[in-house]
Amino acid sequence: MKRFRRHGQESQRDRLKQELFHFNKTVEHGFPHQPSALSYSPSLQLLAIGTRSGAIKLYGAPGVEFMGLHDENAAVTQVHFLPHQVELVTLLDDNSLHMWTLRAHKGLSELLEIGRFTLTGPPGAPPSVTRVTAVLAHSSGELLLLGTEGGHVFVVEVPGFRELEERNISLDQVASSVPDDYIGRRNLEHVEALQENPVDPNQVVIGYGRGLMVIWDLEKQCAIQHIPATQQLESVWWTEDAGYILSSHSDGSYCRWMVGAEDVNEEEEKSDIPYGHFPCKAISKIVQLPTEEGPPFLLFSGGMPRASYGDRHCITVIHGKTHVALDFTSRIIDFFAIRGDPQHTGDPSALVVLVEEELVVIDLQTEDWPVIQTPYLVPLHSSAITCSHHVSAIPLKLWERIIAAGDLQKTHYSKKPWPITGGQNLAPDPPQRDLLLTGHEDGTVRFWDASGVCLHPMYKLSTAGVFHTDADPNDNMNQGTEGEWPPFRKVGCFDPYSDDPRLGVQKIHLCKYSGYLTVAGTAGQILVLELNDEAADQIVEAKVVDLLQGQEGFRWKGHTRLDVREEPVQFPPGFQPFALVQCQPPAVVTALTLHSEWKLVAFGTSHGFGLYDYQQKNNVFVKCTLNPSDQLAMEGPLSRVKSIKKSLRQSFRRIRRSRVSLRKHHVNNAAKLQEANARLEAELAEMEIAPVQRKIEARSSDDSFTGLVRTLYFADTFLTDSSHNTPSLWAGTNGGCVFAYMLRLPPVEHRADEPVTAQPAKEIQLMHRAPVVGIVVMDGHGAPLPEPLEVAHDLARSPDMQGSHHLLVISEEQFKVFTLPKVSAKMKLKLTAVDGSRVRRVGVSWFGSSKSEEYGESGLVVLTNQGDVHVVSLPSVKMQVQYPCIRREDVSGIASCVFTKHGQGFYLISPSEFERFSVSTRFLVEPRCLVELPLRPGSKRRLHSDGASSAHRNTRLTSEDAESAARRVMEHALLNDEQVLQEIQKSLEGDQTSFLENNVKNAVA
């Protein structure tokens, strides 16, 4: 009877788990890693970006986002929307073409692949005959023209991808009609460009690599006109009135040719090298757009003088007498202009530029052409992200104050609304206001609105102003001077160069109730800040704390501390520092927590931990945790344990400074560059690849960094006896040691005068000596203690102080519960030792039931070094669910993961993108949007629904496959490069990679 009852209880628990837990990867925030192609649909008002990892991403109005991933691990080289349709075509660098559609399903649009196609040439023909170099989506929406490396143009019917052989334009047909004096001098080479006549859809211009352009009549199958340019062709643009063709060339020139002129020698009306007379780089793309009144806009990318400005990434905009060279922060991928009215025929209103590291939108209707702030696709990595911190359910007053401080930083942006407005965002309004804070290498902390699908920038805090740094105030390669030619104007916010790597932010803690913020950095600096709505001049005095406490025999070999400014510093409205703690030795701060009710900050490094009273600006106590054998802890992160990325960044920084000084002082800098490169090679040679995870075993106390403090935790609980609760501070170290200190706080009326005191109360040494990554105290009901001030604001139930409290210590290898105040072991849960699982990240979350608004549970969300997410129940400490989340090779992604209080999480899938996931059924943030077919003359608006033509149907479009496709979308991550992934997988798993690849190919076939 007992056995049957237990089985019933288990099945009931299983049902409850289904109501509480469900894993979803929901949305990718930030800027796509390694973008490679751009397109825009004026009729859908959607933007499309393809990446080198084979992803395709569509964006419309804020909140309207779609993602797809090609099965092939190949870069997307071109994207083209079919005019007035919801289909788009992608070309990959493996020469395959793919058709995608936005299909409505249950009232929401989905991005699905509905076909693929590869050109096949005649038997025995070389691959260049069918290697696609140019694509034209014909305005009829029924044809694709594909120009190839061999000089042929293939005509393909879409969406079915049927080749119309009788309409193909072979190289022989074109060559036979070209004047002999042109053909005699050169072969035509590949098809570089295809453009349709804006007035007559039967005419297209075919531009060949060697310069020849041929206007071809698709209906009559013959050449109408030849334009015999002699310079290497880069791009072609047919003006809107169809009267002229513009061509841009590899020597930095562009030419204007009259269409329909009889004498070929007089066709070239205008040839111009905008930035001559010295050799210039190629003009890779040129666009001319008319205006209703006044001169047209001429836009082109490239064309800079090769010797002086060959390293600049520029787009030139010329309108009448206004001539500006927009100088971007990274390589230009592509650009387009948005026209003012819905028919896409009015004056140009915005210039949209995709560069390698960001998307920049220029307002062309406002004087001085200011930048329009992007509501999405923001470069999170404008300075490299070093840490993250998530705060849920922000009170409205704090939210509004942060927005007000942020608005003052955005006055240089255009007031115009975001110009890309396609689709409808059908997602419900977020139930609460959530903040994601990111710390960066340049000492900034950025505040993001993480409530919904768009990760929107709110406010940026800079900590560098407190310190003297190595930065030269005139150290700006891009500052323009009056009368400078070319007329540069720097645009974009991507700036990976840090003035001083010691400024890097390592830990952040924000109290949402009091508005106090603490930020800790690479050189042992801990700043305490408060929110001020007015600008203020302040002197920030450093309180130096000696964590070694005079221990002999240790010598710090790492970087020096930052020098604090002694003069008053003006801080703008927003978070302003009022206290600074400086650890000695100035090692990286590894743990940080703040208790705003007690006005205390606890901090830890690899040498020990301390407690600081920020009301009295006084240190309470210091505990040195350094083991006598911990010599590595004295070497510092910047002297030994460096990442390849950081080394590269520092070397580029040196090269950049070398260039600046070269330009400023005109000195020969070759020796400095050689020195920087030699230093980089030496640093790379020192590095070692992380070892494969070993089986779990007890560790020796001689292991390095045993004294490193991993976690700090404040709790009001029972330490001395079971009848008197007291404030306490708990610290966990890398060597499996837990320290507990009892704190005595003076009464409120004497809080400013009497000192806070602390005395050691408990010390626990875990037998297996695994690093302690988390500490939680649970009240008499088994609920985790609430945050400081949470009860005072009526946002949490007061903790139960009648029953006995329990201490949960989370190490890398197990979860162990102790009773308080006796600290006797009660229960534990071990992670499996076979696969080498270690806890890497842990957080306490609340899981609400999807069936009942009333029911919910607290649980621990755990991420392991295998990339799996587990949920562990509280207070029973039992494993509930386990989901694969991150590839175990993606060490950076695992290290960057941060959990929210409601069962969601963020981790970096690339330096510029956060993947958002949810383990909760109730709390889910994902795009829910609908795109309708655009109106065409004489047609009614309708949805592109499941009742599509048979040509659109594809065997891969079952519901299960759609779900698996959606899962694949989320899987492309930091290791996008196939070669890198193969090398890692071969080293970890032998030759399983090729086996898996063959299986995948067979399944697709």
Q: What is the per-residue pLDDT across 275-320, written as a single tens digit (0 to 9) for each?
A: 878 899 999 999 999 998 889 999 999 999 999 888 899 999 999 9
What is the identity of the amino acid at 65?
E
Give residue 423's Cα distance to chain centre: 23
Indicate the angle between helix axes 978-989 and 992-1004, nearest 10 degrees.
120
Strand 244-249 relative to strand 254-258, pairing: antiparallel
Longest pairwise C-alpha distance within the chain: 105
**Quick one: pLDDT at residue 993?**
38
Cis amide prior to 375 (ω within 30 degrees)? no
The strands making up 757-765's β-sheet, listed across from edge to edge, are 709-718, 725-733, 737-744, 757-765
pLDDT digits (tens, 9 = 90+) for 491-532: 998 887 877 899 999 999 999 999 999 999 999 999 999 999
What is the rounded distance in angstroms from the CA atom of residue 892 to the CA atom of residue 973? 10
Flag whether pLDDT at 958 surpasses 80: no
Going by C-alpha positions, the residue among 79, 100, 105 that lies closest to residue 954 is 100
DSSP three-state, residue 470: coil
Exposed/middle/buried for 334, CB within 10 Å: 0-12, 13-18, 19+? buried
More confident residue, 989 or 404: 404
**Quick one: pLDDT at residue 177?**
82
**Quick one: pLDDT at residue 126?**
86
**Is the distance from CB of 562 to CB of 612 less than 8 angstroms?**
no
**Quick one: pLDDT at residue 653?**
57
Tokens 């800040």, residue?
529
Tokens 């929107």, residue?
456
Dihedral of the CA atoms 943, 945, 949, 955 (nearest 10)? 150
Q: Per-residue confidence at 677, pLDDT binned at 50, 70, 90?
A: low
**Quick one: pLDDT at residue 157?**
93
More confident residue, 394 or 674: 394
Q: Indicate the DSSP class of residue 498.
A: -
Tokens 């927009």, residue?
326
What is the rounded distance in angstroms from the CA atom of residue 390 to the CA atom of residue 845? 12
What is the rounded distance in angstroms from the CA atom of residue 499 to the CA atom of residue 487? 27
More confident residue, 399 or 689: 399
pLDDT digits (tens, 9 = 90+) for 370-423: 999 999 999 999 999 999 999 999 999 999 999 999 999 999 999 999 999 999
Residue 880: C-alpha distances to residues 21, 467, 698, 866, 888 (Å): 9, 48, 27, 17, 21
- pTM score, whole prediction: 0.85
Q: Per-residue confidence at 483, pLDDT binned at 50, 70, 90?
A: low
pLDDT digits (tens, 9 = 90+) for 97-137: 999 999 999 999 999 999 999 998 888 888 888 999 999 99
Q: Write the DSSP string, 397-408.
A: HHHHHHHHHHHT
822 torsion bin: left (phi>0), alpha (psi -120 to 50), beta (else): alpha
